[in-house]
Amino acid sequence: MVLPKFISMLNQSTENSQEFSKKVKLIVLQMCHPEVPIFQQVHKQFACSGRTFQRQLKLEGTTFRNIVNEIKEELSYYLSNEKHLKTKDIAYIFGYPEPSAYLHALKIWKRH
């Protein structure tokens, strides 16, 4: 059910993979099981320190959290439109401890 969206997002990420942030997004997408990996898991995939990793993203005007939130937001809208999963299931997939935390994130995404 999620696979078509993952494939679509992977294809978008590989179109312009010269940017470090695009490479990070691609790695995050590849590591989803379907839960989104944490910083330490993704950082280990690159040959640089955690601080250098963060600086590279900052040079491109983003952060690891922003990249992960973009992915979560896009997948969240896709999953909620499919109507196959309950809110608590989507919250679990994205690593939120409670459905209320996921719903709070939804409100923030809708404001942007």
pLDDT string in tens for the chain (112-residue length) = 455 555 666 666 555 567 899 899 889 988 887 778 899 999 999 999 999 999 999 999 999 999 999 888 888 888 877 777 888 888 888 888 899 999 999 888 887 6
- Distance (Å, rounded) from C-alpha 62 to C-alpha 39? 14
pLDDT recorded at residue 10: 60
In eight-state DSSP terms, residue 60 is T
In contact, 76 and 51? CB cutoff 8 Å:
no
- Confidence at residue 33, expressed as pLDDT on a 0 to 100 scale: 77
Residue 58 is predicted with a pLDDT of 96
* CATH code of the domain in which 66 resides: 1.10.10
pLDDT of residue 75: 83
pLDDT value of position 85: 82
DSSP 109: H
- The pLDDT value given to residue 52: 96
**Hey, CA dihedral for 79, 106, 7, 45, is it positive or negative?**
negative
Q: Show the domain range for 34.
A: 3-111
> Which position has the token pair 């490479």?
23
Residue 49 has a pLDDT of 95
Give the chain's domain count. Answer: 1
Tell me, what DSSP letter sits at residue 37? P
pLDDT at 17: 60
